[in-house]
Structure 1
Amino acid sequence: MVTDEKVEQLLERITALENRVDELEQENEELKQENQQLRKENKRLRAKVRWYEGPHTPPSKEQPGDEESSSSDGDEDDEQPRTDGGTPGRKAGHEPEWRDAPDPDQEIEVTCDCCPECGEQFDESAGVSPRLVEELPDPQPPEVTQYNRHHYECHSCGTETVASHPDCPDKGQFGVNVIAQSALSRYDHRLPYRKIGDRFEQLHGLELSGASAWHATERAARAGRCEYEQIRYQIQQADVVHVDETGIKRDGEQAWIWTFTTENHTLYAVRESRGSDVPAEVLGEDFAGTVVCDGWTAYPAFSSNLQRCWAHILREAEDAAEKQAEGEPIYRALKQLYVALQTRLESDLTVRERAELQRVARRELESLIERAVPDGPVATLLGKIEGGLDHWLTFIGEPAVSPTNNAAENALREPVVLRKLIGTLRNDRGMFVHETLLSLLATCRQQGRNPYEEFKRIARNNKMISRAQAVPAVASSG
């Protein structure tokens, strides 16, 4: 039996629930308004980010997001390379790694005669605590050597000969160590020529002006030009070459630095052109290998055997999806197709299986192209996919070909950093030195060779090409 007291309690509970519902509705409305404001702010910030980071910006240059840098568990960190710009060092839970202890060159006994507190004399040592200390010797002053180069005249043909020595350069008064260190200080340590001179004077007491440091660096480039041409020959014979280009100034005018990189060689070429004539000049018009590249029109104008970069098209698809709702399913389909292809290619496929996989993947791309979308970023994206339809899937049929052009983009990082430091190349001589020494240094590192030893070896090469031979070869290619 329901009493009046129970009815009153029920009514009070109903009233309290109604009040609570009103409060929740009000709170929900406030959250909706806040969410709307946050969406507007997010849209504004995304637009601002796109101003600095377009779809062609590689992931290495993108700013990390809070969700990427803060939310990740240990298993994912182990499987994926770190790209969030976090602090270097050992990750939590990983065992530390230590440097291998070197063998000592000498041992010094460090003893004590008495107690520093009370002065009591010690009878004998109670033990030894060895400590290895690695130290550099004091910099040595320069050595000055006079090479008395003898002249000879052949009595039979009248040819005059001047005796040569590997440590005596054809020109200038600086030896191979100075030439090698000047070149490395500029292109590996990124020092201005004035500071290169300061470094020589501080460490060795060698007076070297900024102009002298430049001339020493130029001699290293002229000595290494023959090796530069050998690198170009090796790249011309390669089956796969990654190619990319970026802007650089020459005396304030627009020029371009191109990179051509393989597994073991990298060559840079500074040119005033961004057209197909540059790869035709560097690789040769009869180049038979595969060019991995982005969507720049110079590449299909040069060769029909291309692999377009999937990293570029996926970034462009993601950007189009953010700008236009119709782009979301296309971006998702492209990403799923790329991941599926990568997974399938991990197994050892036969030539027939690869050909069939290529046909299936092409049909998937064609189905994307056939979608009806309004004009805008998504339509532009589908046009790019259609324009490169013959070049997106080369990597399926050719196992040595990478689906991305990351190798060339990585090779351009060092020239981009130098571009920010030096601002502009002054003339053809600067272009010649820039492309030569960057190529030699990058190739040294790819092949695991010591750059300093290699630059000394190059500086000992007495077959330096003259400035008159070197500069026109670069200038005429612009």
Structure 2
Amino acid sequence: MNGDDLTKEELLSRFLQLEQRVEELEQDNAQLREKLQEKDERIEELETRLRKYENPHTPPSKRRSGTDGSPTSQDDEDDDVRTDGGTPGRKDGHDPEWRSMADPDEEIEVTCDCCPECGDRFDESVGVSPRLVEEIPDPQPPEITRYNRHYYQCDSCGTETVAAHPDCPDEGQFGVNVIAQSALSRYDHRLPYRKIADRFEQLHGLELSGASAWHATDRAARAGRCEYEQIRQEIQDADVVHIDETGIKRDGEQAWIWTFQTVQHTLYAVRESRGSDVPAEVLGEDFAGTVVCDGWTAYPAFSSNLQRCWAHILRE
């Protein structure tokens, strides 16, 4: 039977079937296009997230894959693979490093009179099995010193003078060690002021409020201001200064910690800005030396005398 033998009803039926099939294919095509669009958007999102970790300004320690750019094999995908592409532990053939033990401050002879099994008495020891134990002392109570500072009045000019002692602080009731430990707890151990106060009470039985811990760190900062400014002056006069910055939280708010380094000095500055105003503030607007830096836009906005970091150039 050929097309000429088909009736009009049969031709119409076949046409309707073809038309319905075309509509089904168009619907399938629309669904596939929609899925493809979703995948393209997802790929773009993942590539955007990946660029945060894989770009010329990302140090190797922050990258999520190996530094050679090669894909990770299936055998390496286990719990021992670090996020930076390395593996934990020393490399094969590396000499071990043992923890050095200090000389003992005290030696205690540990003896036994009789056998714990049969009760027979021992005549003498046949050897020694030494064991070094390092321990910290029990919490030490604070030392409280009263300084009776005598004051005098000059008969000639009437000037009043209060005698000073090197161990007596100029202000406050806490000594140098309390101030130093407060600053270390805050900025090295990153403890909140409340926990700093708790730490003093636990270790030394010293009652200290969170506000007192804050005042102690503030006094430490003011005590070091003169040396800080001296270091900044040395850096301002340097021929070459390495600068870098990274994000940091300060009281829960975004801030930036800047590093200014020369061969002999390193200076840190925490600022809310990541712009060129920070190096202009620290180094001075008339800084004539060379700045070694990465490709952040704040540096060319500050100075035209730049040396790009070789690590970034090689990654680029």
Does 2:67 correspond to 1:62? no
Alpha-carbon deviation of 1:186?
0.8
**Cα 1:69/1:247, change in 2 over 3 Å:** farther
Distance 1:232 1:222 in 2: 15
Distance 1:94 1:207 in 2: 49
Correspondence 1:190-209 to 2 at 5 A: 190-209=190-209
CA deviations over 1:253-312 (Å, ceiling 9, x no partner): 765443212233222223454443432331123323211112333323332321023433
SS in 2 for 1:67: coil
Specify the code of the residue in structure 2 equivalent to 1:228. Y
Alpha-carbon deviation of 1:251?
7.4
Structure 2 equivalent of residue 229 of structure 1: 229
Structure 2 equivalent of residue 131 of structure 1: 131
**Cα 1:252/1:178, change in 2 over 3 Å:** closer
Distance 2:174 2:73 in 1: 52
Structure 1 equivalent of residue 34 of structure 2: none
Structure 2 equivalent of residue 109 of structure 1: 109
**Which protein is richer in helix relative to its size?**
1
Distance 1:206 1:69 in 2: 56
Alpha-carbon deviation of 1:249?
6.5
SS in 1 for 2:72: helix
Q: Percent identity?
A: 79
Correspondence 1:360-439 to 2 at 5 A: none
Distance 1:251 1:96 in 2: 42
Does 2:222 correspond to 1:217? no
Alpha-carbon deviation of 1:129?
1.6
Distance 2:277 2:168 in 1: 40
CA deviations over 1:300-338 (Å, ceiling 9, x no partner): 3332321023433454x4xxxxxxxxxxxxxxxxxxxxx
**Are the aligned partners of 1:243 and 1:292 in contact in 2 as well (CA < 8 Å)?**
yes
Specify the code of the residue in structure 1 equivalent to 2:279. P
Alpha-carbon deviation of 1:237?
2.4
**Cα 1:107/1:248, change in 2 over 3 Å:** closer
Alpha-carbon deviation of 1:155?
3.0
Specify the code of the residue in structure 2 equivalent to 1:193. Y
Distance 1:122 1:69 in 2: 62
Larger Rg: 2
Distance 1:69 1:171 in 2: 64
Specify the code of the residue in structure 2 equivalent to 1:58. P
**Cα 1:45/1:114, change in 2 over 3 Å:** farther
**Which protein is richer in strand relative to its size?**
2
Alpha-carbon deviation of 1:48?
5.9
Alpha-carbon deviation of 1:92?
3.0
**Cα 1:205/1:300, change in 2 over 3 Å:** same
CA deviations over 1:32-90 (Å, ceiling 9, x no partner): xxxxxxxx9x967962642642523322222245739977xxxxxxxxxx953532x43
Distance 1:216 1:147 in 2: 20
Specify the code of the residue in structure 1 equivalent to 2:58. T
**Cα 1:153/1:252, change in 2 over 3 Å:** same
Specify the code of the residue in structure 2 equivalent to 1:292. V
Specify the code of the residue in structure 1 equivalent to 2:157. C
Specify every segment of 5 or more residues in structure 1 that has no aligned partner in the other structure, as ranges: 1-39, 72-81, 318-478
**Are the aligned partners of 2:64 and 2:84 in contact in 1 as well (CA < 8 Å)?**
no
Correspondence 1:72-221 to 2 at 5 A: 84-87=85-88, 89-221=89-221
Task: Indicate the larger mover: 115-124 or 161-170.
Answer: 161-170
Root-mean-square deviation over aligned CA pairs:
3.1
Relative contact order, CA 8 A, sep 6+: which one is greater? 1
Provide the TM-score with structure 1 as the length reference.
Answer: 0.50
**Are the aligned partners of 1:68 and 1:84 in contact in 2 as well (CA < 8 Å)?**
no
Distance 2:178 2:75 in 1: 48
Provide the TM-score with structure 2 as the length reference.
Answer: 0.73
Specify the code of the residue in structure 1 equivalent to 2:240. V
Specify every segment of 5 or more residues in structure 2 that has no aligned partner in the other structure, as ranges: 1-39, 77-82
CA deviations over 1:155-206 (Å, ceiling 9, x no partner): 3333322222222212211111111101001111111111111111111111
**Cα 1:91/1:301, change in 2 over 3 Å:** closer
Structure 2 equivalent of residue 311 of structure 1: 311
